[in-house]
Structure 1
Amino acid sequence: MIPSQTYYNELVNPMTYPEFKSLTEELIVQGKTTGDEQTEQKISFTKLNQQRMKRVEKQFVMQPELSELLAQKNLNWNWLILVEAWCGDGAQILPAIAAIAEQTPGIILTVLLRDENPELMNTCLTNGSKAIPKLICEDAETGERLFTWGARPTAIQQQVVQLKAENPAIAHEELVQQVQLWYAKDRSQALQQDLINLVREVLEVPSTIAEV
């Protein structure tokens, strides 16, 4: 496990989820987005993502198993999530992560922009890339990193890999559209299953206990 408190004092522009949403709304009005690249495509994605986030907020229901796991011990965790407003995966994941944190007294969520926090991002690359969203769970008292998650739910990423294998020439736009359809159908279930497995491992809770 990696002690990451070193990076915590250097975080740039840490936000709550409501603050991130307000920032996104302001940028949309200005015809901008977050991050280093202000392209028309990313600005367009940002507008789309605002609607996606609202839909996830309305539909999200925490699985009883995850809720029970998070209630088993007196947690004192910081959740740091690296994201950008233009990120389609982030729009599907961030509202669910925020809802879980809000419903769990022992978890404090901090939203961070990837491009403003390169040192932290470089500690949790995905196959060498700065894929987002990326969730970091650390012990709030010691700063010890307990787990990282991301950038996509395991079950959905498996579908992506399979689709690419079956259609090597698939256009990026078509792939993005299909991923969003999978997210809409999944309704945050794959994310929660990943978190159940990670939390169970950290808390050393056997699956038989979690399922009682």
Structure 2
Amino acid sequence: MESIIQNSIANSLSYTEYRNKVSTLLKEGKSTGNEQSEALTHYSELNETRMNRLEKTIRITNEFTEKLQQLQKEYIWLVISEGWCGDAAQLLPIIHKMAELSPKIDLKIAFRDENDDLMHLFLTNGSRSIPKLIILDKNTLEVLGDFGPRPQGAKQLILDYKAEHGVVDETAKTNLQLWYLHDKGLSTQTEIMEIMAALE
């Protein structure tokens, strides 16, 4: 496991590098990942717009800002993501803003399809769901916790929709985006900070 994590960190990007890679591929009419399709490129374009907006509008609460600035231990936050993933577009700007507030957090982003071994260590109910935030001890690379692919309320919304309709369709995806819009990143901040508080 340690060598997989070491390799994934070596193969990871900073937030800015990640954003630039996704943008560059979009200019070539491509999305990140092994699979290429019009749908995935379309989702990547939507996510680009979404992330640009969230970077301007997301606010980390005063309480969490203070707690992040007071962290004692050093961490790597390693996120598994892809440019076409709607949940990643919602969560990455929040995770980035949180990491920026603390000199003790080093944020790295690894593409799922380029880091298959890492993804297999962090499956959600057997599936390769992303984004996944893996919290590591910076010095030992020990896995201390993980979060994702969605905050609890968003997970529940999709589970309920699937139970009622049997599928996750465009309506479900629209409902999910509305949930994120109303939540304003608070659930994500709260759930990640609960993990961090337990570690400190």
Q: How does 1:120-199 map to 2 (within 5 A)?
A: 120-165=118-163, 167-169=164-166, 172-199=169-196
Q: 1:35-92 CA distances to partner (integer Å, 9 max, x unpaired)?
A: 0110110010000000010111111111233223333342210010000000000000
- State the superposition RMSD in angstroms: 1.5
Number of the residue aligned with 2:11: 13
Q: How far is the alpha carbon of 1:131 from its aligned partner?
A: 0.2
- Computing the radius of gyration from Cα coordinates, the structure with the larger value is 1
Number of the residue aligned with 1:68: 66
Q: TM-score, normalised by structure 2?
A: 0.94
Distance 1:171 1:141, change over 3 A: closer
Runs of 4+ residues over 6 Å off in structure 1: none
Q: TM-score, normalised by structure 1?
A: 0.88
Q: How far is the alpha carbon of 1:172 from its aligned partner?
A: 1.1
| Bigger mean CA deviation after superposition, 187-196 or 130-139 | 187-196
Q: How far is the alpha carbon of 1:169 from its aligned partner?
A: 4.3
What is the one-letter code of the residue matched to 1:6?
S
What is the one-letter code of the residue matched to 1:88?
G
What is the one-letter code of the residue matched to 2:94?
A
Q: Percent identity?
A: 36
What is the one-letter code of the residue matched to 2:86?
G
Q: How many residues are matched?
A: 199
Cα pair 1:56 1:187 within 8 Å, conserved: no
Number of the residue aligned with 1:35: 33
Q: How far is the alpha carbon of 1:142 from its aligned partner?
A: 1.2
Q: How far is the alpha carbon of 1:168 from its aligned partner?
A: 1.7
Number of the residue aligned with 2:115: 117
Q: Secondary structure at the match of 1:21?
A: helix
Cα pair 1:69 1:199 within 8 Å, conserved: no
